Structure 1
Amino acid sequence: MSLTPPAVQSSAPPPTAPLYLVDASLYVFRAWHSMPDEFHDAEGWPTNAVQGFARFLAELIERERPRHIAIAFDEALDSCFRNRLYPAYKANRPPAPDALRRQFAHCKALCRALGLVVLADTEYEADDLIGSALQAGRRRAHHGVIVSADKDLSQLLQGADEQWDYARGQRWTAAGVRARHGVEAHQIADYLALCGDAIDNIPGVPGIGCKTAASLLHHFGTLDALLARSDEIGFLRFRGAAQAAAKLRQHADAAQLYRQLTTIACDAPLGEGADGFARRDGDAQALSALCTALRFGPLTRRRLYAAAGLTWAPVAEA
């Protein structure tokens, strides 16, 4: 008789590999506003945004060595499905100047030259592309590392997923969302529907502020339950409960519309990412042409070539 004890089978799920999902627009805009305007391309156009974005990408790749990564861009500036639902959606934002739009095109070209998957669509925003990529990644045994400070994206977090505010060096999982925003990760869309989101021009329910929205969701759980049981709100112990109940009954349809706007779609077409998000080989010819046209300095060129898995040869470029 064998005295060897039976092997203990662990019920823990197998570890997943990180899939980095970068909210490109945030970092392009940040570079546009923070980098000096002394950088210009061979035709005299400004390149401060693409200069800053290139340095960000190089640093991210040097630091994390990601094997799976996708960069999501916003191309649905006024053609997103949300604009059809609510024409005032993001109508408070001025159009990007030509000098910046030109640099966005350079940033996408740079990502492709580095061998990174680019996500962009005229119907869906970058948030939707990130959500859809995360869903696809989970089916391939990935967990997400969402590189963005945007609070909307916290609604996507589950399990081992992380959100990373790169500039502040802060990372959090779904378990950390409540400490940051007062509600759970899965309540973010309902929360923004109630209290509004000025950045996206979503007004929310009149008279319902952030604290009231968080209190209501803490008690009722979801917007649907809140609206279905609105007669109970007046009995809750917070100032203005009766008025809040009346406002919610009056604006129930608007609240449900706003939730359609604040909920990230996870069924967007993934284009280049349809077959996965593994890094590809860098394109030496395309990268050389971009570095020359954008007049990148030798340090930036060397870092970009290294990020693409290539060796920079200044003599060969000359």
Structure 2
Amino acid sequence: MTGTAVRPTLHLIDASLYVFRAWHSMPDEWHDADGWPLNAVQGFTRFLLELIERERPRHMVVAFDEALDSCFRNRLYPEYKANRPPAPEELMRQFAYCKELCEAMGIVTLAHGEYEADDLIGSALKSVRKDGFRGVIVSADKDLSQLLQDGDEQFDFARGQRWGAGGVKARHGVHAHQIADYLALCGDAVDNIPGVNGIGHKTAAALISHFGSLDELSNRIDEVAFLRLRGAATTARRLHEQRELLPLWLQLTRIALDAPLMPHAPPFARRTADEAALDDFAERARLGPLTRRRLQAATQL
């Protein structure tokens, strides 16, 4: 008997999540030469090093959010993410440091003014599937679960939890490929997507599970009133009243798979680190001796 071939892996990191986490959890003990805080840089650096030491990825993408108010979704729906206050300058400056670190380490670093990190991650993963790659998406964001296919994993690094496409239903009540439809229906308060007023997570999951997709539900709304579902008649009425908005909500919740990735090209192998740039970064970011040694070692893994 021949063994099953091991598929190559592309690690895809949702950088903003971990920069924000470090910003909120690390003490304000480090400052650059101009007095600006470095706590998020320190925390993100430690996260990235631990990830590389643990996973030893050969192919790796780190995606940053730069489309804070210029994303294509904002043109479709101006209120998209309008509930979020702008990041303070003290944090924005640290995002630039974190991006600089990844580039100096030879890690493919993606950012775009019209596409979010989720879109860059989805597009990068799609681009390597033809070569037999599987993806490990390093993020706790439920939106990214819609990208999971056979062999892929999502990795909540902070909690040490991993799940594949088959584990999504237990977490959210729908299959991985139904996540965008589900969120379009019940809405996503984090992204300021209303969804259908009055339809919560449980009802949305039940409807998507029954009909299979948002399109099919939209075509068969008349059947909803007869389902064994609490408040079925009211739910059917709300769906009728807001039916024409469903395609818009789905455009907002569905991850784009055609985001520009140039000048980078699959399979996004890690490049040789720029030692001079790393030394300069370590000095300006006030990295301690132990972190510097780990940084040098990580470039060899």
Identify the TM-score tier after normalising by the shorter chain: over 0.9
Question: Is residue 132–residue 265 contact of structure 1 (8 Å, CA) maintained in 2?
Answer: yes
Q: Is the 8 A contact 1:133 1:273 kept in 2?
A: no
TM-score for both structures, normalised by structure 1: 0.92
Contact 1:19 1:69 in 2 (8 A): yes
Count of residue correspondences: 301
Written as runs of structure 1 = structure 2, the 5 A alignment for 1:51-90 is 51-90=42-81
The answer to whether structure 1 residue 165 and structure 2 residue 156 are counterparts is yes
Name the residue aligned to 1:27.
Answer: 18
> Matches of 1:245 and 1:153 in 2, distance apart?
29
Counterpart check, 1:128 vs 2:111: no
- Distance in 2 between the 1:257 and 1:15 partners? 40
Q: Is the 8 A contact 1:132 1:266 kept in 2?
A: yes
Structure of higher CA gyration radius: 1
Residue 288 of structure 1 aligns with an amino acid whose one-letter code is D
Paired residue for 1:240? 231
CA contact (8 A) 1:32 1:100 kept: yes
Counterpart code for 2:114: E
Aligned mates of 1:23, 1:137 — CA distance in 2: 18
Q: Which residue of the partner structure matches residue 193 of structure 2?
A: 202
- The equivalences for 1:200-239 within 5 A come to 200-239=191-230
Tell me the amino acid that sits aligned with residue 107 of structure 2: L
Determine what percentage of the aligned residue pairs are the same residue: 68
**Offset of 1:154 from its aligned partner?**
0.2
Query: What is the 5 A alignment of 1:245-256?
Result: 245-256=236-247
Within the alignment, does 1:274 sit opposite 2:265 as a pair?
Answer: yes
**TM-score (normalised: structure 2):** 0.97
Deviations along 1:137-158, whole A, 9 cap, x unmatched? 1122210000000000000000
> How big is the shift at 1:273?
2.8
Structure 2 partner of 1:192: 183
Cross-structure match for 1:313:
none
Give the whole-Å Cα distance in 2 for the aligned partners of 1:307 and 1:155: 31
Report the counterpart of residue 144 of structure 1 in structure 2.
135
Local SS of the residue matching 2:264:
helix
The 8 Å contact of residues 127 and 266 in structure 2, kept in 1 or not, is answered as: no
Shift of 1:36: 0.1
Q: AA paired with 2:106?
A: G
| Residue 299 in structure 1 maps to residue 266 in structure 2 | no
Q: Is the 8 A contact 1:119 1:272 kept in 2?
A: no
Q: State the AA in 2 paired with 1:97.
A: P
1:115 paired residue number: 106
1:273-301 deviations in Å (ceiling 9; x for gaps):
32431010111000000111111111111
Tell me the equivalent position of 2:168. Answer: 177
Structure 1 stretch 271-280 or stretch 190-199: which is displaced more? 271-280
**Which of these residues, 262, 271, 274, is aligned with residue 253 of structure 2?**
262
2:93 pairs, out of 86, 97, 102, with 102
Is the Cα contact below 8 Å between 2:182 and 2:208 reproduced in 1? Answer: yes
Identify the range of structure 1 (42-51 vs 82-91) with the bigger mean alpha-carbon deviation.
Answer: 42-51
1:271 is displaced (CA, Å) by: 2.5
Indicate whether 1:18 and 2:9 are aligned. Answer: yes
**Structure 2 residue ranges without an equivalent (≥5):** none
CA distance in 1, matches of 2:129, 2:208: 28
Contact 1:217 1:226 in 2 (8 A): yes
- Superposition RMSD in Å: 1.4
Partner secondary structure for residue 273 of structure 1 = coil
8 A contact 1:54–1:107 mirrored in 2: yes
- Gapped runs of 5+ residues in structure 1? 1-7, 311-318
Q: Deviations over 1:186-212 (max 9, x none)?
A: 110010001000000001101111010
In structure 1, what is the Cα distance between the partners aligned to 2:190 and 2:76?
17
